Amino acid sequence: MRTEEILPEIYNLILAKGTREGERTQLMLAKDALEQAENPYEAMEKLKVAFRPLALRHNLTPDVMDFYLKMTGESVDTALYDFTKHKSEAAFQERTIFAGGCFWCMVEPFEAKKGIVSVLSGYTGGQIADPTYDQVSSGLTGHVEAVEIIFDTRVISYRELVDLYWQITDPTDALGQFQDRGSQYRPIIFVQTNQQQLAEQTKHEEAIKYKQPIVTEIRPATVFYPAENYHQAFYKKQPKRYKAMKRARQQLLTYQTWKRRLGL
């Protein structure tokens, strides 16, 4: 990466509201070094070293993580998500929102189905407007990580979507989902008015299958805030990491489903 390519990205990260102060400090040091015509390679190596401990623990903020992966050449896909494509304009299209743990693992199961127009990762159900990932992950805003789905009712029904939701979540776990712990990962179905009755019906059907109580909430849909670019289509951007997470989630789902159906 040339200095003229690096500086605009660093400036944007410094100004971004989601960047943490510690990250911003390191970015400003790198910016000053580059502007003073120091060796760009040396300046970027120092920045990599500063970010590496947090990156290895997946604890950089999303946009900074994108930049780190770009610096190290590890990023599979850093293309910006086109948010303008996530819109329903036709009478035969509907929206619905599902929360069921980390949204990284909630996109691909739905997006793989025919009739899905768009799946967007984001935050909903909380008390503040336009939250950042850091704010939601604190568990203090009331939001949950969720996916908003636009689907073609001529091809796939709401019933098919909600049936899939029950298959990929643990409806007896109110404290999170699988390896994802915290209030921001609790299972909730957010419904449009015309979806309420069917969602309630499927919840009753699921209750028969379990000896433990079903804790998945059903609520009216509220404002849905898109998550940062880093989180969109994560399974495409980082397929190896996603496959490992998906495998672990499926193993826990199988174990917990049988355990709770047996009342253990």
Query: Degrees (nearest 5) of the Cα angle 12, 16, 17?
Result: 170
- Give the integer Cα–Cα distance in Å for 175 and 128: 21
176-177 and 180-181 as β-strands: parallel, antiparallel, unpaired? antiparallel
Residue 123, strand partner residues: 145, 225
151 forms beta bridges with: 94, 116
| Residue 137 to residue 143: CA distance in whole angstroms | 9
Backbone angles phi, psi at 23, to 5 degrees: -65, -40
Question: Left if phi > 0, otherwise alpha if psi is -120 to 50, otherwise beta: which for 16?
Answer: beta
Distance, in Å, from the CA atom of 160 to the CA atom of 74, rounded to the nearest integer, reads 37
| Cα angle value 241/247/253 (rounded, 5°) | 135
Residues 6+ apart with CB under 8 A from 249: 101, 105, 178, 179
How far apart, in whole angstroms, are the C-alpha atoms of residue 88 and residue 251? 35
* Radius of gyration, alpha carbons of the chain: 21
Burial 13-23 (b: 16+ CB within 10 A, else e): beebebbeeeb
Concerning whether 105 is annotated as a catalytic residue, the answer is no
Question: Which amino acid type is present at position 72?
Answer: T
Catalytic position from the list 50, 102, 120, 147:
102
Q: Which amino acids are annotated catalytic? A: 102
